Amino acid sequence: MSIKESLLTIKKELPDTVTLVAVSKTKPVSDLEEAYAAGQRIFGENKIQEMTQKREVMPKDIQWHMIGHVQTNKVKYMAEYVSLVHGVDSLKLLKEINKQAKKHNRVINCLLQMHIAEESTKFGLDKEELNNLIDSDIFKALENINVVGLMGMATFTDDKNQVKKEFATLKEIFSSLQSIKSTNLDVKILSMGMSGDYKLAIDQGSTMVRIGSSIFGSRNYS
């Protein structure tokens, strides 16, 4: 299937409540252009430098999402334009995003990444860390970031029950957080689900899926 066909097939299956982020990391600009021509306007990248280079040559009405782990010292390169940062898992990073957003006189939307998988290699906060973060005075004073939701990745496994359980846990945390609102906390986006598990994620309440290989084909890392 072409990129266009894959994209349109996936889009047709998604409920109206679910936003599609086309994960174009490692893919050439020509692939992104094909997805753009098919109507896609939200792209996800996991390296700030790569995202910035692609942005320079792509149409300006694209929303760029940073989905990977963010290095504090690179925030400055995306602060001017990034529309959503999915992988925020520390107050230190949030402070840096706030600082850089301020320089551009804007408010950057962020998702807090939760650790829901069994693997210890995946980044993210646990529930206690999440609560400590949003309760802290430092967090409450950040005026140039807006926490608009949560993001999580399930364990990489064929065990659907395991994956389902992890997504359900994240959804529960998401729901409990929705009752807490402040000037920089307004939780409405639940980013969960990738090519292999997005249907399970949607069943468990996902509002945003991040899909790469099912649209663009498998990635070759060299």
Ligand X SMILES: *Cc1c(COP(=O)(O)O)cnc(C)c1O
The distance of closest approach from Cβ of residue 156 to ligand X in the complex, given in angstroms and rounded to an integer, is 9
Q: Distance (Å, rounded) from C-alpha 46 to C-alpha 125?
A: 19
Beta strand pairing call for 208-211 and 19-23 = parallel
Q: Alpha-carbon Rg of the chain, whole angstroms?
A: 17
Who's near 35: CB < 8 A, 6+ residues apart? 3, 4, 7, 22, 24, 43, 215, 216
The distance of closest approach from Cβ of residue 212 to ligand X in the complex, given in angstroms and rounded to an integer, is 3
Q: Which of 148, 157, 196, 217 binds ligand X (CB under 6 A)?
A: 196
The size of the interface with ligand X (CB under 6 A), counted in residues, is: 13
Closest-by-Cβ residue to ligand X is 212
* 139 vs 210, beta carbon nearer ligand X: 210
Q: Distance (Å, rounded) from C-alpha 48 to C-alpha 68?
A: 9
* 142 vs 147, beta carbon nearer ligand X: 147
The 3-state DSSP class for residue 13 equals helix
Q: Distance (Å, rounded) from C-alpha 216 to C-alpha 114?
A: 27
Query: Which residues in the 23-62 window bind ligand X by CB under 6 A?
Result: 23, 25, 46
* 144 vs 191, beta carbon nearer ligand X: 191
Q: Which of 6, 20, 68, 124 binds ligand X (CB under 6 A)?
A: 68
By the criterion CB under 6 A, which residues form the site for ligand X?
A: 23, 25, 46, 67-68, 194-196, 210-214
